[in-house]
Every structure is written in C-alpha cells, then in structure tokens.
Amino acid sequence: MNSPEKSNSETCINSIDKLSNDFFEIKSGNKFLTLVDKIKDEKEKKAKFNEYEIEQGDILVDYPDNFIKMNKKPLALIIASYTCDIPKKETRRIHLLPIFLLNKLNPKLLITFILEQASKTAKDKIDIKNPESLKQAFQSFNAKDREKFAKFVKKIFQFKNRNYFLICPHKALGNKWSYADIQSILTIKKEDDTLKNLIKYTKISVSNPWKEKFGSILGSRYGKVAVDHFTEKEIKYLYGTINKSKK
C-alpha cells in the first residue's frame, strides 16, 4: 500500500506534467525557412515568408552568442512585443526578455523580499551582499516573515508576479524550470535579417491561455484570464525540488 506522502508526490508529478505539456506549442521556424529557401520565384518566396507569424511568447533557443548583447547568455529568449504590432511598418524595434533557470532566481528573490517586505529585524540580521549570509536568510526569518515569503513565491507559481513569468520545463529548455525576467527588456532592430533569425531560432511558443496572461502582465494589467495554476501542495513540492537541484 502506497504511503500518503508518496501518493501526494505522484499526484503532483502527474498534474504538473500535464500542465507542462499544455503550456507550449511546437513552432519550428528553421523548418519553415528551409521550405521558403526552396522556392525559386522571388515574389512567391516573399509571399510565403510573410505567411509566418512571429508572436508574443515565441521562445528562441540555441542562438549564437553575438545575437544579442548581454553580460551573460541566458537559457533562452522570449518575444515580448505584441503579436499585432510586429508586422506594422511603424514598428522599428522588437522587444525580447531573457529566460533564466528558476533555481538561479532564489538569491534574487530573497534579496527583493528582504528589501521590500521583510521585517526590520530580518534586514538587520542579513547582509544581502554576502552570499553566505543569504544562504542562512530563510532560517533568520521569524514566523511572519516566513509566511510572507511563502506568499511571495506563490505569486510566481500562480502567474501573478509582474517581475517574473514562470516557464514550464520543455526538452528545448533542457527540461528545466525557468522564468522570463520581465525587468530585463532587450531590444533589437526590426530588419529582414533580424526577422529571419527570430524565425530560425524559434522552436516553441507559449500557448494560450498562458500567452494571454503573459501579455496581460507585460501590459501591467491583470485581466481575468483562465490560467490553470499550481495548488499550495504543488508549489511546496516544486519549490523544494527546484532548489535542491545543483543547476
């Protein structure tokens, strides 16, 4: 007979796996460009090229290091510009957001929480510039601070945080939990070569209704979008397993 703890873990895994599968749609831009390149007539080729829709929520992976300037290359990039704006003639730039591994967010989360919400006692005990001090941060929290921090984390897993957008695992992302950093907007010029590269490196895209939620967060508005989010039990399970992983 299975123990309640094992049964709860299996339930969490199954429900999370289902959400991850529903979260993405496959969008092989490179295959599309290969088909376009086979067309000999230039007019027909251009018409075919224009059929491809670059969308908000498209995720770029395996792009070259010089594709965009950043101090450290992120796991992936996600298109932040609104889908309807991208083809407009007056649109001269396209906005992207970096995607990082979720377990790398833990120090940033702690620092943000300590600065914005933690009690003065906790702030006095923790040196946010000292990694060793940050490792002990949670243990330094009183009961009220721990409860506040739990709610802080919960908002990310329920797609309610304006700074970070949760990205579910996918093989194109190394089957790792990750997040789009909404605070780090990147910009590239909208040119023919740029558009081709955006298509070329797109392998997956966030599907609805999460795509709608992503757009609503970027627009600093929380519309009533029917997004399936994680339960309290799943959040505790996920956050625990993510931060136990080394990378």
The predicted pLDDT at position 221 comes to 45
* Residues 6+ away with beta carbon under 8 Å from 48: 35, 36, 39
pLDDT range class, residue 229, cuts 50, 70, 90: low
| In a domain? residue 21 | yes
Which of 187, 185, 173, 194 shows the shortest CA–CA distance to 218? 185
SS3 for the chain, per residue?
CCCHHHHHHHHHHHHHHHHHHHHEEECCHHHHHHHHHCCCCHHHHHHHHCCCCCCCCEEECCCCHHHCCCCCCCCEEEECCCCCCCCCCCCCEEEEEEEEEHHHHHHHHHHHHHHHCCCHHHHHHCCCCCHHHHHCHHHHCCHHHHHHHHHHHHHHHCCCCCCEEEECCCHHHCCCCEEEECCCCEEEECCHHHHHHHHHCEEEEECCCHHHHHHHHHCCCCCCCCCCCCCHHHHHHHHHHHCCCCC
Distance of CA 129 to the CA centre of its chain: 26
Residue 168 pLDDT level (bands cut at 50, 70, 90): very high
Query: pLDDT, tens digit, for every residue of 196-213?
Result: 999 999 999 999 999 999
pTM for the predicted model, two decimal places: 0.83
Number of domains observed in the structure of the chain: 1
Q: Does residue 191 lie within any of the structural domains? A: yes
pLDDT tens per residue across span 35-70: 999 999 999 998 999 889 999 999 999 998 888 888
- Residue 161, pLDDT above cutoff 60: yes
User: In which domain, by residue range, is 151 found?
Assistant: 4-242
**Pairing of β 93-101 and β 178-181:** antiparallel
Tell whether 247 is covered by a domain: no
Angle at 68 between CA 174 and CA 49, to 5 degrees: 85
CB 197 within 8 Å of CB 79: no
Q: Do the Cβ atoms of 162 and 217 come closer than 8 Å? A: yes
